[in-house]
A and B are shown apart, each in its own frame.
Chain A
Amino acid sequence: NAGVTQTPKFQVLKTGQSMTLQCAQDMNHNSMYWYRQDPGMGLRLIYYSASEGTTDKGEVPNGYNVSRLNKREFSLRLESAAPSQTSVYFCASSATSGGANEQFFGPGTRLTVL
């Protein structure tokens, strides 16, 4: 039982390049989330998927797109990376979108955009 896995662990991009961050969970959770973590800012929600087949914008969606590929997988795409997207990206999942709602986080992807 691996929990939430993310790939890659580290990535360096040049401005304007694109990439996809992958996330998978093996806990049969309905909801999945993408956050970014910046110094002094706390975790900020980029996009979330309350259930398979649905996605919605969070607090900071500009410059990102997501795909909920199936119940297990939720990917985050940067179409044209900018230095402001340098951050640590965390994927999380939870069993429901309401009730006692513990989020389980992946280990993160450290992204640097030059």
Chain B
Amino acid sequence: QKEVEQDPGPLSVPEGAIVSLNCTYSNSAFQYFMWYRQYSRKGPELLMYTYSSGNKEDGRFTAQVDKSSKYISLFIRDSQPSDSATYLCAMSEDNYGQNFVFGPGTRLSVLP
């Protein structure tokens, strides 16, 4: 079993839809949770960052962490074609960059 799992997609949704992206993990010691967005042929860029459990909202994006279920989610409201990208989750026990564990990513297409 991989330490961090993500459905690879591709996930195709119409413009304006609510998108739900998810990761499951096996290490209960993870405390820091991140979502990165990666456009085609570009490097990842940090989208959301959460510590421990709970929700965090930033504009159209909401990150949720459920540590009891070892499950994190990223919700995108009013999705736009510009949201078409691969979304990577990452997590860590101690927030040291060298210890980040990345999921394989979910490819999202938002169709106009």
List the interface of chain A (C-beta within 8 A of B).
4, 31, 33, 39-45, 48, 50, 56, 58, 90, 92, 94, 97-108
Q: Write out the residue numbers on chain B whose beta carbons fall within 8 Å of the beta carbon of A98.
A: 94-96
Indicate if the CB atoms of A108 and B49 lie closer than 8 Å: no
Q: Write out the residue numbers on chain B whose beta carbons fall within 8 Å of the beta carbon of A103.
A: 46, 97, 100
Do A97 and B44 form a contact, CB below 8 Å, given A42-B102, A42-B105?
A: no
Q: Write out the residue numbers on chain A whose beta carbons fall within 8 Å of the beta carbon of B100.
A: 45, 103
Residue B68 lies at the interface, judged by CB distance under 8 Å to chain A: no
Q: Write out the residue numbers on chain B whose beta carbons fall within 8 Å of the beta carbon of A39.
A: 104
Q: How many residues of B contact A (CB 8 A)?
A: 22
Grouping DSSP codes into helix (H, G, I), strand (E, B) and loop, the B interface class, with mixed when no group exceeds half, is loop
Residue B8 lies at the interface, judged by CB distance under 8 Å to chain A: yes
Indicate if the CB atoms of B98 and A48 lie closer than 8 Å: yes
Indicate if the CB atoms of A92 and B97 lie closer than 8 Å: yes
List the interface of chain B (C-beta within 8 A of A).
4, 8, 41-46, 49, 88, 90, 94-98, 100-105
Q: Which residue of A lies closest to B2 (CB)?
A: A42
Indicate if the CB atoms of B98 and A97 lie closer than 8 Å: yes
Q: Write out the residue numbers on chain A whose beta carbons fall within 8 Å of the beta carbon of B97.
A: 31, 33, 48, 92, 94, 97, 101, 103
Q: Write out the residue numbers on chain A whose beta carbons fall within 8 Å of the beta carbon of B90.
A: 43
Q: Write out the residue numbers on chain B whose beta carbons fall within 8 Å of the beta carbon of A102.
A: 46, 49
Q: Write out the residue numbers on chain A whose beta carbons fall within 8 Å of the beta carbon of B43.
A: 4, 90, 92, 105-108
